[in-house]
Structure 1
Amino acid sequence: MHFSNVLAIARTQSKSEDFRALIARTVPEHLKVDTRCYGQLIDAQESHVHYRAIIIEIDTPSASNLTLDIIRKTRDENPGCTIFVVVTFASTLSKTKYYLAGADYCVKVVETSPEKKLSLFDAFLSENARLNQGGLILDQDRMCIYGDGKKLEISFVEMQVLEALIQRRLLSHNEIAEVMGLNTKYYDSRALEKSISRLRSKIKAHYGENIIQNIRGYGYKLSRGLICANHFQPVKEWSNRE
């Protein structure tokens, strides 16, 4: 199977080549950077090329909804990769729809200078490489987290939340509430947020990593590559979805 490390996606072929040249300045020399434009991905059949990272530029409002299908397609074809979306036009659009489509990171950059983009891509790819060097392990039997030669004990509810996030990566507030055994119609949202905040703080204090990201107005997502489970228990389908 052919493995290419990074895929740069932009609206047109010429823009994708410019995008590739910019990204190539940030990645190690041994990594290959492929390019695609929107049309190539929309019309293409299933790809047999698998990527470590996919970076998608959205530079116009009209391209916003079009890229959602591209994100879904690339996520289906590259389930283990990290997808990074950079929005380079002035917009008040929520990032949530990109996360729901399968993106891992979404950054809005109104300033479109090459220097600004370069610094963002450099930071992202460096962080992505660091996160995928290894990570934490959730031990459901012992209700603890292992990593970096340390052990962190967690509660049963905290273990269930982490397990659900590992399996689904992105959960709404209602889905988190159901995992925690709360009434999804009457639970106290502030209490839920405090519970997740305590879990985040506990892990960060112990390992120095913020593995649970808050998605404003929606819920929480897990940073890809930072934690895995030693085994999975079946997770029921949630009936209350936002």
Structure 2
Amino acid sequence: MKNEILLIEDDIELQKLVSDYLKKSGFICVCADSIHSGKLLFEKHKYEIVLLDLGLPDGDGLTCIPFIKSIWNETGVIIVSARDKLEDRIDGLNLGADDYLVKPFHLSELNARINALLRRNFHSTSYILKFEEITIDTQANIVFIQGEQVDFTRKEFDLLLFFIENKKKVLTKENLFEHVWGENSIFMDNSDFIYTHINRLRKKIKNHTGENYIKTVYGFGYRLEID
């Protein structure tokens, strides 16, 4: 399953161009030209990455995202579309997409984004991580606080995991964006966006521990530490 990509794209010429490039880059690339055929392929086999066009002949590709994430939440979804409106990007990210690339694009950039997403999703060490009363099972994507399972959104989970992997280190806003949303995130310059997600994460942790472990380091970023 490692480095296997499902490309859902109805432009056959572009499909072949992307597929040939990815195969030369060491990936296994399987292609579908519709929502229906893409879903059938994904039901039979879990792919590490899905490259998803939006303007497909049998509907809006956005409808594929909840389906993909419901089967295997660890799959990285990169939307590849000519639709460049902010609303489309926000809708895609809110539905669970991990990145958004606007056509036309350079194949080298697509390759870089795929590799960045694979790095974010891959954990080579123990799949159980702990910090104080918090335990994360990175294979099952489950968080336990004081032995009780606590629900987090995908981005809250990614943030918490990144903080624990880098406990006691100062993480800048740019560090957090690059790891969780991708270095080319449309929200990169929006401080309120990152603050909102950090604040939600803090509240969930504090509700179960009574502690505020995520400290603001004014002028620099945030750090996970004990008082």
Alignment match, 1:105? 99
Query: What is the aligned counterpart of 1:54 among 46, 50, 53?
Result: 50
Taking a change above 3 Å as real, the CA distance of residues 205 and 141 of structure 1, as seen in their structure-2 partners, is closer
- In structure 1, the gaps of 5 or more residues are 146-158, 172-198, 222-232, 234-242
Alpha-carbon distance in 1 for matches of 2:77, 2:108: 17
Secondary structure class of the residue paired with 1:80: coil
Alpha-carbon distance in 1 for matches of 2:9, 2:119: 26
Shift, 1:101, TM fit: 2.0
Query: What is the aligned counterpart of 1:169 among 154, 166, 171?
Result: 154
Secondary structure class of the residue paired with 1:83: strand
% identity of equivalent residues: 12
Alignment match, 2:130? 139
How many residue pairs are counted as aligned between the two chains?
168
Taking a change above 3 Å as real, the CA distance of residues 40 and 18 of structure 1, as seen in their structure-2 partners, is farther
Alpha-carbon distance in 2 for matches of 1:104, 1:51: 14
Shift, 1:81, TM fit: 1.2
Alpha-carbon distance in 2 for matches of 1:46, 1:126: 20
Shift, 1:92, TM fit: 3.9
Shift, 1:34, TM fit: 0.4
Contact 1:3-1:50 within 8 A present in 2 as well: no
CA shift digits 1:157-199 (9 cap, x unpaired): xx9xxx978x31146xxxxxxxxxxxxxxxxxxxxxxxxxxx8
Taking a change above 3 Å as real, the CA distance of residues 46 and 91 of structure 1, as seen in their structure-2 partners, is closer
Question: In the alignment, does 2:34 pair up with 1:38?
Answer: yes
Question: In the alignment, does 2:124 pair up with 1:124?
Answer: no
CA shift digits 1:137-173 (9 cap, x unpaired): 753534699xxxxxxxxxxxxx9xxx978x31146xx
Query: What is the aligned counterpart of 2:79 among 57, 75, 85?
Result: 85
Alpha-carbon distance in 1 for matches of 2:119, 2:3: 19
Contact 2:5-2:49 within 8 A present in 1 as well: yes
Higher relative contact order (CA 8 A, sep 6+): 1
Instruction: Please give the TM-score of this superposition, normalised by the length of structure 2.
Output: 0.54
Contact 2:53-2:81 within 8 A present in 1 as well: yes
CA shift digits 1:49-88 (9 cap, x unpaired): 1111111134x5x88x711112222222332111111233
Taking a change above 3 Å as real, the CA distance of residues 88 and 46 of structure 1, as seen in their structure-2 partners, is closer
Shift, 1:100, TM fit: 2.3
Alignment match, 1:18? 17
Question: In the alignment, does 2:95 pair up with 1:95?
Answer: no
CA shift digits 1:101-145 (9 cap, x unpaired): 221112334xx1xxx431221211221332314479753534699
Contact 1:85-1:107 within 8 A present in 2 as well: yes
Taking a change above 3 Å as real, the CA distance of residues 89 and 139 of structure 1, as seen in their structure-2 partners, is same
Alpha-carbon distance in 1 for matches of 2:65, 2:81: 13
RMSD value, Cα: 4.5
Alpha-carbon distance in 1 for matches of 2:128, 2:169: 14
